[in-house]
């Protein structure tokens, strides 16, 4: 079978199984099997697939149709322009989490500006904590943006940390990012300039409403923050207050219903300059504050 027909048959199977974004999923799986990029796919519609590639592709299509996320089948996901290894042990990095990086970098730049320092921010000497690092996507993106900073990335899941460590090596920041197994910032012994986190924030009561790809395949510890979802923020904000330097910045991703529960926790006299950033869908996605 040629590339065009194979792709057509593959996406028809995914459409039938009600897979969201079925065309993209079929393309990514075919590219994964063939080891080519997208341009190649559309430049070579008549190319014949080997029997082995054909079988591998339709085996992946069957698994995707049964609910396995595409990223678990290809083993990768792009985030902040970087390719990350993903396995069922880590949350698949989401595009909206890039707002956490944007807000954190903006806040750091503003701090430099207010202090009368020059605007080229390399992060020299900065100590940064990424709480619940998962695949390491936030920690590694920040390390790439701020080559002078040291990042301390924590997670309660040791299998997740193993993936994060491989991602740090893949992006040549293994010397800049330290991985620590532990509960939030419990074991931190230093003070930070910046604490970032995308904590688990889905409510267990919402579990039934989740897509099967998420509910059945992503780690529970990465998804659920408690019965309501926002329970973890209280302890995270309390520990961040303890471990941030005066003037230090906290940047947290929010779940779609977390804002009313989280905003009151960032109050005076501990916190100032609290601001919320919406994502592209208009949902309050990131809250940032400064430690007084």
Ligand X SMILES: C[S@@+](CC[C@H](N)C(=O)[O-])C[C@H]1O[C@@H](n2cnc3c(N)ncnc32)[C@H](O)[C@@H]1O
**Interface residue list for ligand X (CB under 6 A):** 91, 93, 97, 131-135, 137-138, 154-157, 160, 183-184, 198-200, 221-222
Instruction: Write the DSSP string, 104-133.
Output: HHHHHHHHHHHTT--S----TT-EEEEES-
- Report the residue number, 2 or 83, with the smaller CB distance to ligand X: 83
Which three-class secondary structure state does DSSP give residue 252?
A: strand
Q: How far is the CB of 228 from ligand X (least distance, A)?
A: 15
- The number of residues in the chain equals 292
Distance CA 103, CA 250 (A): 10
Q: How far is the CB of 85 from ligand X (least distance, A)?
A: 13
Whether the CB-CB separation of 163 and 136 falls below 8 Å is answered with: yes
- Count CB neighbours of 157 within 10 A: 18
Phi, psi of 166 (to 5 degrees): -65, -40
Find out whether the peptide bond into 269 is cis, omega within 30 degrees of 0: yes
- Report the residue number, 71 or 97, with the smaller CB distance to ligand X: 97
Q: How far is the CB of 73 from ligand X (least distance, A)?
A: 18
Whether the CB-CB separation of 286 and 273 falls below 8 Å is answered with: no
- Report the residue number, 45 or 182, with the smaller CB distance to ligand X: 182
- Report the residue number, 26 or 91, with the smaller CB distance to ligand X: 91
Q: How far is the CB of 285 from ligand X (least distance, A)?
A: 12
Burial environment of residue 235 by CB neighbours within 10 A (0 to 12, 13 to 18, 19 or more) = middle
- Report the residue number, 143 or 160, with the smaller CB distance to ligand X: 160
Distance CA 250, CA 213 (A): 31
Find out whether the peptide bond into 8 is cis, omega within 30 degrees of 0: no
- Report the residue number, 54 or 277, with the smaller CB distance to ligand X: 277
Q: How far is the CB of 271 from ligand X (least distance, A)?
A: 21
Q: How far is the CB of 62 from ligand X (least distance, A)?
A: 27
- Report the residue number, 81 or 125, with the smaller CB distance to ligand X: 81
Pair of tokens at residue 126: 């900065």
- Report the residue number, 27 or 130, with the smaller CB distance to ligand X: 130
What contacts 114, CB < 8 A, 6 or more positions away?
none
Query: Token match 């149709």: residue?
Result: 65
Q: How far is the CB of 48 from ligand X (least distance, A)?
A: 39
Q: How far is the CB of 76 from ligand X (least distance, A)?
A: 14
């Amino acid at each position: 079978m040629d590339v065009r027909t194979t792709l057509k048959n593959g996406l028809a199977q995914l459409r039938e199984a009600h897979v969201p974004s079925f065309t993209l999923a079929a393309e990514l799986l075919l590219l994964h099997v063939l080891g080519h990029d997208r341009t190649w796919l559309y430049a070579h519609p008549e190319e014949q697939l080997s029997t082995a590639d054909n079988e591998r592709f339709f085996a992946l299509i069957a698994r995707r149709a049964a609910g396995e996320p595409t990223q678990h089948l290809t083993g990768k996901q792009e985030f902040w322009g970087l390719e990350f290894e993903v396995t069922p042990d880590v949350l698949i990095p989401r595009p909206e989490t890039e707002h956490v990086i944007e807000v954190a970098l903006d806040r750091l730049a503003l701090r430099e500006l207010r202090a009368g320092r020059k605007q080229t921010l390399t992060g020299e000497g900065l100590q940064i904590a990424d709480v619940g690092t998962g695949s390491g996507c936030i920690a590694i993106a920040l390390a790439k943006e701020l080559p002078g900073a040291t990042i301390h990335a924590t997670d309660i899941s040791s299998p997740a940390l193993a993936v994060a460590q491989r991602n740090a090596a893949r992006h040549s920041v293994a010397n800049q990012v330290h991985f620590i197994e532990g509960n939030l910032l419990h074991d931190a012994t230093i003070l930070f300039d910046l604490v970032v986190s995308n904590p688990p924030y889905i409510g267990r009561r919402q579990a039934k409403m989740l897509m099967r790809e998420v509910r059945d395949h992503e780690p529970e510890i990465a998804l659920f923050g408690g019965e309501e979802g926002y329970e973890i923020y209280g302890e995270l904000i309390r520990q961040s207050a303890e471990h941030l330097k005066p003037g230090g910045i906290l940047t947290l991703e929010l779940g779609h219903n977390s804002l009313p529960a989280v905003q009151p926790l960032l109050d005076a006299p501990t916190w100032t300059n609290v601001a919320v950033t919406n994502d592209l869908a208009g949902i309050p996605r990131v809250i940032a504050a400064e430690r007084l």
